[in-house]
Amino acid sequence: MSDSKLAIKVDHTRCQGHARCLQEAPEVFGYTDDTNQAFVLPGADLAAHRAAIDVAIGACPECAISWDQG
C-alpha cells in the first residue's frame, strides 16, 4: 500500500473501548467518552506512525482496527 493511500479503519461494531490503540499510537488515535470508542484523529500522519499503528492493531483485543485496503 503506498503512503498516499494509507487509511485506517476502526470497526465500531467491535471496538469495546479498551484504548490500547491510544497507548500505542496517541498521535493517531483519539477516544470519545460519548461512545467509549476509539477513532482515527483527523489529519493524523499515518505514514510517519506506521510502526506504532501496526503495534496498535496487534494490541487491540477485539481486532477492531485494520489498515483500510480501500
- 38: domain CATH number is 3.30.70.20
Q: Considering its fold, how many domains does the chain have in total?
A: 1
pTM score of the predicted model: 0.89
Backbone angles phi, psi at 46, to 5 degrees: -65, -40
pLDDT reading at 47 higher than 70:
yes
Average pLDDT over residues 23-39: 96
- Give residue 60's Cα distance to chain centre: 9
- What range does the domain containing 32 cover? 3-67
Question: Please, which pLDDT band fits residue 37 given cuts at 50, 70 and 90?
Answer: very high
Question: What pLDDT, in 10s, does the model give residues 2-12?
Answer: 566 899 999 99
**pLDDT above 90: residue 32:** yes
